[in-house]
Structure 1
Amino acid sequence: MSSNAFSQDGAEFCFPQMVNISCRKPTLYWTKFMFLNILLSIISVITVVLNLLVIISISHFRQLHTPTNILLLSLAVSDFLVGLLLLPLDIYRSTSCWFLGEIMCAFNFFLACQIPFVSVGNMILISVDRYVAICHPLHYPTRITAVRAKIFVFLCWFWYGLYSLFYIRDQITDLTQPFRKDSCLGECAYIISYATGVVDLIFTLIFPVTVIVFLYMRVFMVAVIQARSMRSHVTFVSVQHSGKVRAKRSELKAARTLGVIVFVYLLAFCPYYCYSLVDINLTESVFAYFMIGFVYFNSCLNPMIYTLFYPWFRKAIKLIITLQILKPNSCETNMLKRDCGLTEAT
């Protein structure tokens, strides 16, 4: 390799034949981010495996085809794509030159927008589902059906696909100016204007968090009232309306579990957005890279929460690992406790 393939300080260029417009190879990035990259690689594999188990479980067993589980399935798909696509591409983008071209860079940015946005939409839908189930239980079976849940999931993915185009418009515009003074060949930098950043803050953090927190405050206020009512009338209710009590307790248990999922989501996303207000250049520091990795780690935590709180998921994992799902009519397996009814699947 000729001597002009290196800069004056000895750094190697991504495209030695085009030194004037080539980026330097990020030789220090791997040592700088070594621990985080190894950790993110492990998280990526775990995220893919665990969310794949969730996808197979809910898709295969018919008894789990409830409206709430359909929303959980959509969340699992978005989390699965985080582990399968976003994490590996982010590790590659931060540790080596980008040789996939500008179009793939723009597409990568599109996925980096749409997939987390869909997770936000899923969280809102889950909150609405729990709000109707707890605050309007008599109307829940008619208002929230499996068909409607599928329609809302489709609209969620479709809307955020269109919405993500708004974020990459600067990236697409940049494709027509490949030799700008502040760019070079071999990098994949995400270009976000100030106006786009403000819109992102409002519609991806402030608005969703406000809606989710408001709905869950209503849910838990009603849950407390119901719990007190159950304790004060336990004898009468146990004799006259035992079936309804079990249904209420099951809904409250589902609300608690999904409340944990929503809380973990807020815990992962809020610090990242707060830090983005302080430091706009999110790709240059180890701390910023850690914050982005923590956001992605949320996709790995969700199936772990299912394992802790959902008996049907633990049973499904056992059937999948032992290959019992390959048997005829395995999709008809009873995944729920007999004394809890179908509501235990939520």
Structure 2
Amino acid sequence: MDDIAHTNFTFEYCFPDNNASCKKEVQTGPAYIFLFIVLSFISVCTVFLNLLVIISISHYKQLHTPTNLIILSLAVADFLVGLIVMPGNIMQLMDSCWYLGNVACSIFPLMTSLSMFASLYSLVLIAVDRYIAVSDPLLYPSRVTVSKMSICITLGWSFCLIYIIIIMHFSDHLISTQLYATCYGECVLVMKHSLLIFDFMVSFLTPCSVILILYGLIFKVAKRQAKAIRNVTNGASQKQANVSGSSQNKAAKKLSFVIFVYLSCWIPFYFSSISVENVTTSSMVWTVFGWLMFFNSSMNPIIYAIFYQWFRVSAKHIMTCRIFETSSSRFNLFSDHV
């Protein structure tokens, strides 16, 4: 707190040659320098981890499966968060100015919303995919194919884009980028309370409910399958039953962690945003809880990729440049000797 109290604020102009320029609040205290370093590190890690996932799934033919296509979609969305959304917010947080012009001011919130909504949509698809795989494992290969999943992902991203454009239109941001700006060099998006309620229903409550219901069903099916295995096993195969039960417990713990991280990152923003009249991109609600949602994009590659052997092996190949070897796309990523 002492660091923040002694923070130095130097007032300059964002555009000194423009009489209508906003004042630039340069925050140079130790606390803000530390914050800048931490947020920049999170941004770099988000880009790096998701880029590893994108390269791995795109390059290695062994990873061209329906489930991995969803993880690829998730990684692309989270990559955009780390590459575009986080740096843009860091820039505004550090000196409060927008240097990229009106067009970029219109596009930036659209890219922010699209990447985060697409990330959330990918989480829903993963839940659906896992439910089908657990509830009907024998018919899963025929019901869920690479081509069908590609169509679902494309339609999902298209829906996200159309929805975000409609929301931005009704918030007047795409019509007049300076509608809520008080001076030149300011880029502010204001979400009206009525739109926040609607967005809360579409962008959070509905997908959250779908994810929770599906994972609840997955737990129920897994528990039923584990009980069925125990009932049909005898003393000779008890060890196999224990292994299967252990596998089910690990899967349950992983799903529990997925739900916990997802809710922890998204609930604070939406519940705080609907409690105020309007939310602007310069408000404390967006600054604090918005970054918590961004942080979810850093956690996703850890949850959905680093837990798996194929990611560790492929990441090792990429960082040691083995990916450039002839026929590297056909490497076996599921063997200890690759």
Report TM bin, short chain. Answer: 0.7 to 0.9
- How far apart are the structure 2 equivalents of 1:232 and 1:37? 57
Specify the alignment match of 2:221 in structure 1.
222
Quick one: which amino acid aligns to residue 173 of structure 2? Q
CA gap of 1:182–1:76, structure 2 versus 1, over 3 A, is closer
- How far apart are the structure 2 equivalents of 1:149 and 1:250? 26
Q: Is the 8 A contact 1:134 1:251 kept in 2?
A: no
Quick one: which amino acid aligns to residue 142 of structure 1? S
Deviation per CA, 1:162-187: give whole Å up to 9, x if none.
Answer: 11101221102224xx4x68622110
CA gap of 1:192–1:52, structure 2 versus 1, over 3 A, is same
CA gap of 1:273–1:229, structure 2 versus 1, over 3 A, is same
Specify the alignment match of 1:5 in structure 2.
none
Quick one: which amino acid aligns to residue 263 of structure 1? F
After the TM superposition, which residues 15-164 of structure 1 pair with which residues of structure 2 at under 5 Å, given as runs?
A: 15-19=15-19, 21-28=20-27, 33-96=32-95, 97-164=97-164
- Match of 1:183, SS state, is coil
Specify the alignment match of 2:291 in structure 1.
293
CA gap of 1:214–1:301, structure 2 versus 1, over 3 A, is same
1:38 Cα deviation after fit: 2.0
Q: Is the 8 A contact 1:134 1:252 kept in 2?
A: no
1:252 Cα deviation after fit: 8.3
Quick one: which amino acid aligns to residue 174 of structure 1? S
Quick one: which amino acid aligns to residue 151 of structure 1? I
Unmatched tracts of structure 2, length 5 or more:
1-8
Quick one: which amino acid aligns to residue 49 of structure 1? F
Q: Is the 8 A contact 2:53 2:305 kept in 1?
A: no
Q: Cα RMSD between the aligned structures?
A: 3.0
Specify the alignment match of 2:334 in structure 1.
336
Q: Is the 8 A contact 1:67 1:146 kept in 2?
A: yes
- How far apart are the structure 2 equivalents of 1:121 and 1:237? 45
CA gap of 1:29–1:228, structure 2 versus 1, over 3 A, is farther
Quick one: which amino acid aligns to residue 191 of structure 1? V
Deviation per CA, 1:50-73: give whole Å up to 9, x if none.
Answer: 111111111111111111111001
Q: Which moved more, 1:310-319 or 1:89-98?
A: 89-98
Q: Is the 8 A contact 1:123 1:262 kept in 2?
A: no
Q: Which moved more, 1:64-73 or 1:23-32?
A: 23-32
CA gap of 1:41–1:182, structure 2 versus 1, over 3 A, is closer
Quick one: which amino acid aligns to residue 314 of structure 1? R
- How far apart are the structure 2 equivalents of 1:143 and 1:275? 40
CA gap of 1:249–1:92, structure 2 versus 1, over 3 A, is same
Specify the alignment match of 1:273 in structure 2.
270
Q: Which moved more, 1:249-258 or 1:204-213?
A: 249-258
Q: Which moved more, 1:76-85 or 1:286-295?
A: 286-295
Query: Which residue of 258, 275, 292 corresponds with 1:261?
Result: 258
- How far apart are the structure 1 equivalents of 2:78 and 2:151? 20
CA gap of 1:16–1:300, structure 2 versus 1, over 3 A, is same
Q: Is the 8 A contact 1:87 1:296 kept in 2?
A: yes
How many residues get paired? 323
- How far apart are the structure 2 equivalents of 1:322 and 1:256? 32
- Match of 1:26, SS state, is strand
Q: TM-score, normalised by structure 1?
A: 0.83
Structure number with higher relative contact order (C-alpha < 8 Å, ≥ 6 residues apart) = 1
1:232 Cα deviation after fit: 2.6
Unmatched tracts of structure 1, length 5 or more:
1-8, 339-346
Specify the alignment match of 1:209 in structure 2.
208
Q: Which moved more, 1:274-283 or 1:225-234?
A: 274-283
- Match of 2:176, SS state, is helix
Quick one: which amino acid aligns to residue 278 of structure 1? S
1:197 Cα deviation after fit: 1.3
- How far apart are the structure 2 equivalents of 1:247 and 1:158? 40
